[in-house]
A and B are shown apart, each in its own frame.
Chain A
Amino acid sequence: MFDFLPIWIVILGLAVFFYVLLDGFDLGVGILYGFAPAEDRPLLMNSIAPIWDGNETWLILGGVGLLAVFPLAYAIIIPAVYFPILLMLLALVFRGVAFEFQFKNPAIRRLWRWGFCLGSVLATLAQGFVLGAFVQGFRVKGRDFAGTSFDWLTPFAATTGVALLLGYALLGAGWLVLKTEGHLQDWARRMGRICLLGVLAAIAVVSLWTPLADPAVAARWFSWPNVAFLAPVPVLTALAALAAWRALNGWGPDAGPFLWAMLLFLLSYLGIAISLWPYIVPRQVTVWEAASSQGTQAFLLIGTLFLLPVIAVYSSWSYWVFRGKVRGDVGYH
């Protein structure tokens, strides 16, 4: 029978990546919110108000897609990161409702605005911890996670947590460069440069840490002939970083910083995938062992292949409707 799994790996990989990019930049805007000049803050929120809901829908697709394509991985990984998931969900609650909670009382309103910022920070941090815990792997017995609910709390996961904070903030800064002008755009460029330096440091640390901690990863990257095939990944990363830096300094169109930051994310994402392939629960369960039944994959694929292009059309349309600059140089009376 025809094997659908490769198609599903591509679809699911893309869904998770889209989530990281899309919610990444709007969480990033939320993170930068705390550092923004007070009078510009509402503008930051407005720049993402019409689209954040659609972006979070990719998170659901990532979660439900994992359940549908790799149910065993879902049943092992999600309980293993019980508390980061809890933290992420609760943080997203505060962040999401803040868009609609316009209280008359200024003190209460300010509280919810800070909830928006703090929610963005905590949700990102939690996702970074999930990423770190995932790369390090989980204890498994039979078809169950066999560790404790605090296994995820490691120095490595803390590092990836901070790395993701910087990364999302970089995406957010890129988005703001694209969507604003005037002094607010200058500010976004400055924030972007700071984040970029942080991101590069984090990429370097993680790229050294994983092969040192795990001989299998080292072998994957440094053995011959892999080293020749994989060399483009770090080289391209360096070039993308350079381009992002120049774009943040005003070189090229306003979309530049955002696009280069996205490329950096893509390369890091590929790097992790290369290190871990073919495991979906690292060093424990491969993609084939975790896959759902052929019937399940086929039934879902029929509709998905039709629906994904349709979704792409109408969600691009809704982005198109809200195209253009949110003005940053308008005075307030």
Chain B
Amino acid sequence: MAFDPLLLSRIQWAWVISWHILLPAFTVGLASYIALLEGLSFATGNPAWLRASTFWTGIFAVSFGMGVVSGIVMPFQFGTNWARFSDATANVLSPMMAYEDLMAFFLEASFLGVLLFGRHLVPPWAHFVSAIMVAIGTLFSSFWILSVNSWMQTPAGFSRGEDGRFFPADWLQIVFNPSFPFRLAHTVTAFYITTGFVVLGVGAYLVRRAEPGSEPRLMMRMALALLAVLVPLQMLIGDMHGLNTREHQPAKLAAIEGRYDTAAPAPLTLIGWPDDAAAIMRYAIEVPRLGSLVLTHSWDGEIRGLKEWPADQRPPVAFPFFGFRVMVGIAFAMLAVVIAGLVLWRRGRLFETGWYLRLCQWFAPLGFVAVLAGWITTEVGRQPWTVYGHLRTEHSVSPSLTGADVALSLAAYGIVYLIMFPAGIAVMIGRIRAGLSLRAEPRDPVEGLQSRAPVKAPPPAAE
């Protein structure tokens, strides 16, 4: 049986990056939250903040570790499977990736050690500063990697050599390419929302099982307050992001809308079954004129259909079409949960309403689903290009690879990730179950590591 190295490399990329993105989606938000808790603890001296911070730091450590190891896989993927892409784009993209490492990863890694193990080794302010540095590191990282990705979506500021390679012409245009501000805002907000729902859900779980102390309630209130601002804001940013896509990647927008024929005014297709071969949307349920209203902010604006592009320049419709609907559906459901929470809070029944607490628990993982759905919309909608309009995906893959090579590596990534990630999730759930009280003294056995400090023996490994 012959395997197609291109298709398998695409599946492998999608597999490794989808797992990776789940961790930044959590750690970017959680790092900021921990820095906030550390700051409150430092400023007020109230032990509740310290306990909450310690609790979340234990969970953060696990997700950060998984983020790092799954992240190290990523830059090597460019070389192993996408060598043609690397050769063609390195002059433009590589400095941004190098800056991510120099500005973000070193910062995170160095201060993480102090954040996790150093509470008693450095003065309280230095511990607080370490928490801030880790949080800033995660944001720098998002900045640079999203700039790289956005340039692939909406390339700008470059020239092309005779052999087709990309060369830098204007760094400001490259870094701040047209879709970057929207993507950065939308993605970082998404990360904060994702973390917010996890904190809300975990808080609700701890309230339900009557965990002593005020911390679970504090967590729920903080999360709700944040989400009340961010969820509506995210919808606004998402709308602006969509307008930007319409301008710069019209074929992707047509796929998101499921629109094969150009129309003005255009209806909004709520749901349907896209058929790329016949280029029609089957079983479509449409609302007249709404598409024009949402996307052009006018009654009869035009939306271009996929038939305006030759068949070999159209993205497959199903992934962007359904991915987008999942993301937006979740957004509206989140809004409902937040409004309900605010109403209950107003009435002073937030912590007594059993169904609502359970609902919060159910919503804890939904941010991750929305993030993945959004990215699948974005990335599959960019096809068949890796650099939109310039470099095709089939010209990006490493020429030396055979189908069997990639089948083997994909199987290896499949097996290892299916062992590692569920195990990591189990560890995190275990730490949540253990609750706040158990971890009052953070990671004491490992802390210190010095003979001058009061020496404590680490726990025996296995026995």
Interface residues of chain A, those whose CB is within 8 Å of chain B, are: 38-39, 41-43, 46-47, 49-51, 53-54, 56-57, 59-61, 63-65, 67-68, 71-72, 74-80, 82-83, 85-86, 89-90, 92-94, 96-97, 99-104, 106, 109-110, 112-113, 143-149, 181, 292-293, 295-296, 299-300, 303-304, 307-308, 311, 314-315, 317-318, 321-327, 330-333
Contact = CB atoms under 8 A, between A and B. Distances in A.
Interface of B: 61-62, 65-66, 68-70, 72-73, 75-76, 78-81, 83-84, 86-87, 90-92, 94-95, 97-103, 105-114, 116-118, 121-122, 133, 163, 167-169, 171, 398-402, 405, 408-409, 412-413, 416, 420, 423-424, 427, 430, 446, 449-453, 455, 457-463
Contacts of B87: 71-72, 74-75, 143
B458 A86 contact: no
Given A50-B116, A293-B167, A296-B91, A93 B452 contact: no
B228 to A, nearest CB: 33
Nearest to A180: B451
18 contacts: A49-B446, A53-B68, A63-B75, A74-B90, A82-B405, A85-B79, A93-B69, A97-B420, A143-B87, A144-B398, A145-B83, A145-B398, A149-B405, A293-B168, A295-B168, A318-B114, A325-B450, A326-B450
Contacts of A56: 68, 72, 109
A317 B460 CA distance: 29
Contacts of B430: 103-104
Nearest to B113: A50
Contact of B69 (A97, A110, A304, A330): A97
A94 B75 contact: no
Given A61-B102, A145-B399, A321-B118, 18 more contacts: A42-B460, A49-B113, A50-B118, A64-B97, A86-B80, A112-B423, A143-B163, A146-B400, A149-B401, A292-B90, A296-B95, A300-B95, A300-B98, A307-B103, A314-B133, A318-B113, A322-B449, A324-B452
B99 A303 contact: yes
Contact of A325 (B423, B427, B451): B451
A214 B112 CA distance: 46
A57 B109 contact: yes
B98 A82 contact: no
A80 B400 contact: yes
A40 to B, nearest CB: 9
B407 to A, nearest CB: 12
A293 B86 contact: no
B106 A315 contact: yes
Contacts of B68: 53, 56, 96
Contacts of A80: 400
A71 B455 contact: no
B416 A90 contact: yes
B42 to A, nearest CB: 18
Most buried by B among A83, A148, A149, A323: A149
Given A38-B461, A50-B118, A92-B72, A101 B105 contact: no
A25 B447 CA distance: 21
Given A54-B113, A303-B99, A67 B75 contact: yes
A39 B75 contact: no
Nearest to B133: A314
A100 B111 contact: no
